[in-house]
Structure 1
Amino acid sequence: MRVSLKDVALHAGVSIKTVSNVVNGYQHVAPAMRERVQRSIDELGYQPNLTARHLRKGRTGIVALALPELGNPYFAELAAEVIDAAARHDYTVLMDHTRGRRDQELLVSQGFRSQVIDGLILSPIELSTEDLRERGEHVPLVLLGEREYDLPYDHIAVDNVAAAREAVRHLLALGRRRIAFLGARRGHSQPAHLRLQGWREELDAAGVVADERLVAVTDGWGHADGAAAMARLLDTGHRPDAVFAYNDLIALGAMRVLSERGLRIPEDVAVVGFDDVVEGRYGTVTLTSVSPDKASIARTAVESVLCRLHGGAPEPRRVHAPYTLVCRESTLGRR
């Protein structure tokens, strides 16, 4: 049978209120009393009924996380961090896979799960500002990712222009001048547009002409897209001496083609990715990459939802998540 607060109280010889204070982290409990109650909790194997606790507060204890591409290691790693961050607040995460499709993003943003969630963390790809402005749902919403929205929602994102400039600056410092950008998008895709902007700005600041023939468009985010873009670029005869890729998967696909064409990494072509996924750390040539602090992004997102839920932080926040450039063999070689 499930152990109750009453069972713990009888075992410890204290009141139910005292046990409740210990379980809920109430500060004003004498250390000796707290230790006594905790000993009974441990011996009896008491587990708090989180569902009942949330329901007493009019909550479900569930936060939804909607991501565009669960097959992408970056989003899988981010999801794991969000789940861990939510668990520290006794919350469960409900996953939604939007596949980056506008209809699916509209569905989750307009609250089709509003009866079972307390808040929503959404990483949109296709939603416009108008789509979100017309949102009638009152469940707290926190946005992730690099699309720009002028909206009253907390938004957590890496400064893409600054991060791209740092990546290109690293390549320039190594003496590279023909730096390609792989992962530009047709139409308007803000993360790619912003990273391409950073590429141009840093080259310009260094007095290096940005050769637009070295900008390769991809239709997707994966290995195959990077491989195809690299192959097309090499086939034109405009060989770069370095590559800055929109993400790690594109970079890894490009590295495969470079190797197949007999080009050495980094001696002939240095490569930098973006996202710092685990796969890039264990290849034959480890990948230099811009590494967003996924744990910080997840923690800030969960805390922002809960803060909104409890009426805190009246002004929407635009949070620039921390990142670092992690330099590995694809630019520095083996040492």
Structure 2
Amino acid sequence: MGVSLKDIAHRAGVSLATVSNVVNGYRPVGEQTRRRVQQAIDELGYTPNLSARHLRRGRTGLIALAIPELNNPYFAELADAAIREAAGLGYTLVMESTAADRETELMLLGSRRHIIDGLILSPVRVTREDVLARTDTTPLVLIGEGVYDVPHDHIAIDNVAAARTAVRHLLDLGRRRIAFIGSGNGQDRQSAHLRLRGYREALAGAGLAVQPRLVAPTDQFGRRDGLSAMSQLLALDEPPDAVFGYNDLVAIGAMRAVREAGRRIPDDIAVVGIDDIEEGRFSHPGLTSVSPDKEHIGRLAVRRLVALIEGQPLAPPADLDLPFHLVVRGSTIGGRPSVAG
């Protein structure tokens, strides 16, 4: 037989209601009493039945994290933090891959009350109007880019400012023919356009005109895309002396092309990305990158969602821009890594 709340109450010398309040967090309990109950829980080896608890509250205990691609290290690192935070709050997080497909994103925004208690979505194709037209009441938190000005929390970094930071670093190093790899088709508020805007603003701030031939569009944002685009840039009569990649995967692909062309990094061409994924830290040379706090993003998204599910008081929904910093490595200056605010 398993340990019951009644067994804990007997061991701690308190009422069954008090034990229930401690275990379920219903009401404040005095610290001394809480310690006695917790000691009894530890001694008896009590493990709460989370499934039963959720069912009593009319919930499934499941929350979903929907991201564009499962094989992107950025999302993998963010998801790891979200999974751990959910488990700590008594929820199971399930993963969904949208493949950046509009119909899939719309399906996830639709009614799924009988399956999940809440949804964290990283949108790519759905619009602000799609979200505003949503009739499902399942709690929703948005992360990343794609939708703004909606009555839901939206957690991201300021992509324009992040791109400006990356390009200004290259400008400060004396680079002047700076390319951008990763501009693409899509909505103006998607991250590619926001990062392109930051790139342009940084150049304008240095009194430099954008050279269209140095802006390389890509269909996707992976290593192969960076490799292909960089190969084309190297074939120009005047190739770039620095490259800003849409993300670290693009930048790592670009570094491969530079090395295969017999050029030196960073002597001939400096390279910087965004995301600060682990692969970039172990590349050779190490990749300079704008580092968002993926741990914070994942944990905060889960905390905000669980608070909505459990009806806890929250501030009104808002666009929450989280901090970032530039980690300088060998792909731009060589030597040991450093951090720039």
- TM-score scaled to structure 2, two decimals? 0.92
Alignment of 1:21-60 (within 5 A): 21-24=21-24, 27-31=28-32, 33-60=33-60
1:182 aligned residue: 181
Give the alignment of 1:145-294 within 5 angstroms.
145-188=144-187, 190-294=190-294
Q: For the residues of structure 1 that align with 2:34 and 2:291, how far apart are their CA atoms?
A: 42
Q: How many Å separate the matches in 1 of 2:308 and 2:158?
A: 24
Q: Does 1:68 align with 2:50?
A: no
Name the SS of the counterpart of 1:231 in structure 2. Answer: helix
Query: What is the Cα-based RMSD across aligned positions, in Å?
Result: 1.8
Per-residue deviation, 1:30:
4.7
Cα deviation for residue 314 of structure 1 reads: 6.3
How far off its partner does 1:311 sit? 5.9
Residue-by-residue CA offset, 1:214-258 (whole Å, 9 max, x unaligned): 111111111101000000111223311111000000000000110
1:136 aligns with 2:135: yes
Residue 113 (structure 2) aligns with: 114
Q: Which amino acid counterpart does residue 242 of structure 2 have in structure 1?
A: A
Determine the C-alpha separation between the residues in 2 that align with 1:295 and 1:50: 25
Asked if 1:304 corresponds to 2:301, the answer is no
Residue 127 of structure 1 corresponds to which residue in structure 2? Answer: 126
Q: Report which stretch shifted further, 144-153 or 88-97.
A: 144-153
Q: CA separation of 1:30/1:272 partners in 2, compared to 1, >3 Å: closer, same or farther? A: closer
Q: Per-residue CA shift, 1:56-97, capped at 9, x if unaligned? A: 333222211111101000011111111122223212112111
CA deviation after TM superposition for structure 1 residue 308, in Å = 2.8
Q: Alignment partner of 1:53: what SS?
A: helix
Q: Which amino acid aligns with 1:236?
A: L
Residue 332 of structure 2 aligns to a residue whose secondary structure is: helix
- Residue 208 of structure 2 aligns to a residue whose secondary structure is coil
**8 Å contact 1:22–1:29 — kept in the other structure?**
no
- Map of 2:94 onto structure 1: 94
Q: Shift in Å at residue 28 of structure 1?
A: 3.0
Over 3 Å counting, the alpha-carbon distance change for 1:180 and 1:30 in structure 2 is: closer
Q: CA deviation at 1:156?
A: 1.1
How much has 1:304 moved relative to structure 2? 2.2
User: Could you tell which deviates more after superposition, 283-292 or 123-132?
Assistant: 123-132
SS in 1 for 2:227: helix
Per-residue deviation, residues 252-309 of structure 1 (Å, max 9, x unmatched): 0000110111111111111101111111001121111111111221222122223333
Query: Which stretch of the first structure deviates more once superposed, 10-19 or 41-50?
Result: 10-19
What's the offset of the Cα at 1:317?
Answer: 0.7
Aligned to 1:333: 334
Distance 1:188 1:266, change over 3 A: same
Q: Residue in 1 aligned with 2:325? A: 324
* Residues 309-332 of structure 1: CA deviation (Å, up to 9, x unaligned): 316336321111211111111112
Instruction: Give the Å deviation of 1:151.
Output: 2.0
Whole-angstrom CA distance in 2 between matches of 1:223 and 1:68 = 16
Distance 2:57 2:206 in 1: 57
Gap change, CA 1:153 and 1:21, over 3 Å in 2: closer
Matched letter for residue 117 of structure 2:
D
Following superposition, the deviation at residue 39 of structure 1 comes to: 2.8
Distance 1:129 1:237 in 2: 43
**Bigger CA drift: 135-144 or 87-96?**
87-96
Counterpart contact for 2:127–2:146, Cα < 8 Å: no
Q: How far off is 1:148 after superposition?
A: 3.7
Paired with 2:238 and 2:180, the residues of 1 have a C-alpha distance of: 13
Letter in 2 for 1:115: H
Q: How many Å separate the matches in 1 of 2:303 and 2:10? A: 36
Q: How many residues align?
A: 333
Query: 2: distance between equivalents of 1:159 and 1:285?
Result: 27
The answer (yes or no) to whether the contact 1:213–1:238 under 8 Å persists in 2 is no
2: CA distance, partners of 1:186 / 1:13: 66
Unpaired stretches in structure 1, ≥5 consecutive residues: none
Q: For the residues of structure 2 that align with 1:85 and 1:322, how far apart are their CA atoms?
A: 20
Match of 2:339 in 1: none
Q: Give me the TM-score of the superposition, normalised by structure 1.
A: 0.94
Contact 2:248/2:274 (8 A) holds in 1? yes
User: Identity of aligned pairs, percent?
Assistant: 56
Which shows bigger deviation, 127-136 or 60-69?
127-136
4+ residue segments displaced more than 4 Å: none
Contact 1:120–1:140 (CA<8 Å) still a contact in 2? yes
Q: 1:34 to 1:154 in 2, by over 3 A?
A: closer
Code of the residue aligned with 2:165 in structure 1: it is E
Which 5+ residue runs of structure 2 have no aligned equivalent? Answer: 337-341
Q: Distance in 2 between matches of 1:311 and 1:282?
A: 42
